Structure 1
Amino acid sequence: MSTAQTENDWRVLTKSWIESELQTSKTKLPNNLRMEIQIGQLDTRLSLSPCQKVEPFMPAGTVLWGRSRIGLRCASQDARWQVFMPITVKAYGPALTLVSNLPAGTLLTSDHIQEAEVDWAANASPIVLASQEWLGKSLSRNVSLGEALRESMLKAPPTFAAGTKVKLLLKAPGFELASEGQSLSPGKLGEQVRVRLDNGRIVTGKVVDERTVWVSF
């Protein structure tokens, strides 16, 4: 590639452009995040014509979070080309991390966590901070010492256990009927569960509270 010096200018331009974009979106992010931008290099096999005016742009579906890419296009009359520059956006800030390796299914308590600074953008799953979002929930997978608490690693405990007697609300166009049955699996709020009616019939419905399942026909 014969435009090494020009590429360095583009990298400076790209970083400045990203910083401006991040400032614009600051309202969507916590104020205490410390942003760090790393600009990669273009493919060395490229051979681009000299360009007097290069403009960065955001490719469709791109987010300025973690590993990504920014488009560069020549906007002058002397050349017409478009390339993509690899970038990494890091966002350092306080988070809750695990104090030890823990297996899937562990019910989280305050003894399992501590506060530390992490890169929020290292994973697409949102960071979890508020105690009501994690306290009493269990881990959906094995986790390692130092991992930050994120939504994807948490699951809510069952609303009721398998074998629980539950109330069924049977709804169909024109009528509504209440009945009872026995859950065949643990029920979780908002999720589907199978229930056996007293006559032996098995139906599937949505858990709406700690003892009620809504079945639509």
Structure 2
Amino acid sequence: MTTRDAAAAARAQHVRQRADRPSQRRCAEPAGARAAVRAALSGVEVRDTGDGEGGLLEFTGHASVYEQGYEMWDFYGPYTEVVSAGAGSESLARGDLDVPLVLGHDQLRRLARTTTGTLFLNEDDTGLSVRAPALDPGDHDVAYIAPKLRAGLVDEMSFAFRIEAGQWSPDYTEYRITRYDIHRGDVAIVGYGANPHTGAGLSREPAAKPSRARALLEIALAR
């Protein structure tokens, strides 16, 4: 019997209901591993759309890819996890949605935030889409990560969230997340995480005059 089969058999014996969430959910075998899901970028594209130095940078990507399985671990061992299409719709529709774009899930290394109109999240045919249209290259963290994205040294994303609803498959080898809450979680640019399927890109916009920058921000906040 494989480790995965043994874990499934133990779940079948001890999990009370198929709707129960994974116990001690994490993205690697060690008990202290994080539970954050990652999605590998399908290829970072960096395009200079402006006139070079001093322009704003636009970041786009997917923090989760829906309907594609990835390995996770719980108290009993490894299993496959899948995020259902539309699983984040209720959370993303909140009027007070507060989610930052961060580096490595570090809440002090924020690049953009939904509450300031600098980060936009939505669900598309791929999964959880992330767009930060006006990153300041003068920001220390933006300056740090931009060349690494261009060089392909960092090419994955992840998101931190709470599982609100889901269900185990009849054989307890797969857990499907049907609803999650990302409010006060985050979307992160990471080295490695759990779900190897996302994509992201970075492009440069022309440097904006102060008045134009304010106008762009007002438009974004009004959306």
TM-score, length-scaled by structure 2:
0.22
Computing the radius of gyration from Cα coordinates, the structure with the larger value is 1
Of structures 1 and 2, the one scoring higher in RCO (CA 8 A, sep 6+) is 2
TM-score, length-scaled by structure 1:
0.23
